[in-house]
Structure 1
């Protein structure tokens, strides 16, 4: 048995290069300093061990601990009333409390419920692709993936489409509050902006259409209990971020990797029914959009060869699990021909992502639309920049151009 090796890990830099290097550590567990301050779990088998064993590895500090105690006093003082007492977003709950909350949220994003959104998503994806065709190019992040996932999440939640931009702004304010690398002054300002959400969100919970996520949070469904009002409001914000930012990154990563190899793009365009879902899953494997959430050790344990004590914090790195050469052949190669559906980008175990059905539906439709409506699409410019983010990984923008007539113009 041993202690973990000390390493440097910068969450705002490209994580893939760092994780590929860190995976060379035989133990599969290393210790990172500030701003992460946790043991990084890298190997796929160890990541799954942590995610599966919720008794040993608690989720209570998944988002930095319960608010308002988890944020600086100056930030906490600016929070609206519903965040002045501990709330949960489901990912930071354990035991029976988690099971009850998870069951309710899972009902809101079931395969059957999200499947009803297909016509809306197909129509919106077609509109966005048509606008790119008219301009002969654009940014697949801002002009395609972001508005598409926003439309899908708004419809799933029961949010009026015209209110989606404002909800997105509030959700990103909460993300700033929760992010330790954001300066305290900015976190306090972001907390203050959430007062407007409290009134709007309460009204949404009262009037949400039956069958929508907001209605299920507020009133329950299919034998599942309603969430506490404070938790329901918190979930509206956290689930918006989880359901839009990650899927946007998944769509643009897959599109980018296909566009990097012209022969691969052309092969996919010739058979979009097969390649759209496979490329989306392989993109999630190749670069998991979410890094993972902290778990707190509750009792003495050994993870791989590393001894752990109660109170230690471990961070299962989903992108590392998906690039573990002990499990994946040539993990650094993007290959939509491989069987990648059992990746860990949606996490694993009791806290596996309840929005996976919606994400896969949006990803499949997005890539299918690009491949069929814009087959002459190409990257425009050099390697696109990454978005510097503490929790997520993806492209900040993806400029593209059209080089020939597409089916919509024929």
Structure 2
């Protein structure tokens, strides 16, 4: 039997990894600019964390989690999203007691959901995201959105748009909830079984249903914006005002509810408007979550964050035909002209690497001509040929593979030349 990848997973091959490194480095750089620090949480957590944190009316909890029992019968789940583990860590390590508030964190790692695999969506996928915990200042909502928008622009995605909404505070949501129940209840039997189960648990989730999103009652459902109290209206107005001040345009969409139960006040999505990207164009989504820290037995602490699927971002880059900068190439290929020079070649390659210079040699016992071809295939910038004469004189013939120019150098001059060349490439 041929063993292959499990469905919904993929290998990231060496010829693809440069793009991943490019995204990861850009994300790390912009997070550090905004003074967010990296956090790494376990790949699996206690199942209760996601049932309580994500919400038992969500598709993630009811349908998509990879849950298993360990040898002592404890229920564990491969993490399906990043916020709940970060907030759990925030509470467990008492970060709320840190004098530096808010606590600003970013993460990057694999997540797992049992979904139907499709373009840009896998069962094991990579999510990058941030969480700012400990402030209810509307300006940090704008900061979080700004970080995401600037990240996308920094990687070359210009054809994007921001959609925002407010879910209001607890009081506003309760009034809206009652209105939604009254709106859907008379005809709830026309909806899918999931929506019927959600009616009294979390009717807001009906608006986000993939099956019934075209139902007339969904389109005519009461808008959350009509139920915002004065405090919630003022908060949302301030968020929009800060976005205006920093020059980020947006569209308000009262149907934007997001797929997780813990959101309130600001919610947002960043969409790709690239032609050919497909119907589901969301690159990034997030929002504010008051009450989630308390849900994990921490103090009453507000937070806001976002998550983005790296695979969807990669697909957007492909559709936008963004050219990813090439990684640093091979600086020098050291060639052995005869067997007697093999030890010197090994020594020189190691010496170059000790100086931070990328160096390579032949490991297939090829002849001189074949080694030169291999150096060309590997796009070496320079080659050095070592033979008995070079060992005796201590001078090596250094060849610039782009120009064909050759000149004699000592070991010291060789290292200096290659270091200068590497600095020029940065």
TM-score normalised over the length of structure 1: 0.24
Larger RCO, structure (CA 8 Å, separation 6 or more) = 1
TM-score normalised over the length of structure 2: 0.24
Decide which structure has greater helix share: 1
Larger Rg: 2
